[in-house]
Amino acid sequence: MTEEKSQETKLKPVLGLLDATAINVGAIVGAGIFIVTGIAAGVAGSAMIVSMIVGSVVALVTALSFSELTAWLPKEGSVYEFAYQLVSPFVGFLSGWMWVLSNTFAGAAVALGFAYYFTALFPSIPTKLVAVIICIGFTVLNAVGVRKSALLNNFLVVTKVLILAFFVIFGLNYIKPTNFTPFEPLSVGVLYGAYYMFFAYGGFARVAVVAEEIKDAKRNVPKAILISLVVSSIIYVLVGIVATGLVGAPTLADSNSPLTEAMSATGNTTATYIISAGGMIATASVLLTSILGVSRVAYAMSRRRDLPQTFGKIHPKFDTPYYSVWILGILMMLLVLFVDLTRVVAVSTFATLFYYCIANIAALRLKRPYQLYPSIVPVLGIITCLVFMFYIFFISPTSLDLGIAGLLIGAIYYIAKTLSQKRTA
């Protein structure tokens, strides 16, 4: 590759540690805390808080693997690059493929989630119209500069954290101790709850995808991953305690908006509207970082010609992979309009575990002195990912079937692409 070509495809580091941490908090503290808490309460009961702690510890193990991998190679594409160099090009491709596939569908689902919260306040507006508008708006924002996206994300993150702090402080006055009974921390349901909470924490690796755009990435990205996971875990546990204490686990489990349901128990209408607004802000920030992350993985894959080179073109003024941003943003919009996401988005369940498992395998293959943690850390990460994959078989067979189908499509594409490149070489 010529020097001129290299310069055309280079992104600029413009984001600091605060921006990097906010990207991750924006990805973690999102729709999960406003929705998954209800699902976890349904299987773990009032011991959902234990599920939150177990889920965060499991996430921390894989987060440590990402931290040392990013310290070794702070490069756009994250697990795609790690697997490509430490495992094999084929496994690297599959990791990147599953990341793009799962996060594109998940982004569309989050756009719909935002629309549902919005139309709950303004019911006369069509839900899909709202979802399309926010997809377009955030696609434009990501296309015109990562710094602008980061500034908006910082605002959204601060706002939703303040709303959740309000939920905890205001709700504490209305807690009923009887809502914590029965408390069964050793039940099987707690492990199932931890499975769901693991996915609520699943955005902890988002910042690693944009490593080349972070200043002093070798130090700041690992710091951002760990800081954001600790902060998010504290928020989840505090919110879980208050939500359970307000209405009890059964009521949370029966609601599609458990935190709004919990706050309504206080009888304060204004407070309930504030929490509903928090759900809207939370889903908005997740969508914003989803478009950012998935476009960067596609960009990284295009540099190695694993995806068409169009995805790797950098805008001369905005320094963003604008084709990648627009193509994937429009794809999310089309998914919102024409695809029933309720089943198809389940592919992200399998895909997330797949590429997190691969990331742990890559970390296990790091040589000294790049290994920052004992080898037992990635080994535990692999084991926990495989255990959760085993859970999928019982919890959601559809997720397993769709995930394997997505993986097979990626493998077929890679083989066809490789054969085509060999014929034209």
Number of domains in the chain: 1
Looking at the domain assignment, is residue 205 inside a domain? yes
Q: At what angle do helices 217-247 and 48-72 cross, to 10 degrees?
A: 170
In this structure, the number of other CB atoms found within 10 A of the CB of residue 243 comes to 30
Q: What is the pLDDT of residue 340?
A: 65
Q: What is the pLDDT of residue 314?
A: 85
Looking at the domain assignment, is residue 14 inside a domain? yes
Looking at the domain assignment, is residue 412 inside a domain? yes
In this prediction the pTM is 0.86
Per-residue model confidence as pLDDT tens digits over 99-129: 898 888 888 888 887 887 788 778 888 888 9
Q: CB under 8 Å to 351, separation ≥6 — which residues?
A: 98, 99, 101, 102, 403, 406, 407
Domain span including residue 312: 3-420
Looking at the domain assignment, is residue 64 inside a domain? yes
Q: Are 216 and 184 spatial neighbours (Cβ–Cβ below 8 Å)?
A: no
Looking at the domain assignment, is residue 425 inside a domain? no
Q: Are 160 and 281 spatial neighbours (Cβ–Cβ below 8 Å)?
A: yes
Looking at the domain assignment, is residue 191 inside a domain? yes
CA dihedral sign, ordered 280, 281, 283, 284:
positive
Per-residue model confidence as pLDDT tens digits over 325-382: 999 999 999 888 876 655 555 667 788 889 999 999 999 999 888 888 899 999 999 9
| Residue 206, domain CATH | 1.20.1740.10
> What is the rounded distance in angstroms from the CA atom of residue 103 to the CA atom of residue 206?
10
Give the gyration radius of the chain's Cα atoms.
21
Looking at the domain assignment, is residue 117 inside a domain? yes
Looking at the domain assignment, is residue 40 inside a domain? yes
Counting as low any pLDDT under 50, the low residues of the chain are 1-8
Q: What is the pLDDT of residue 5?
A: 42
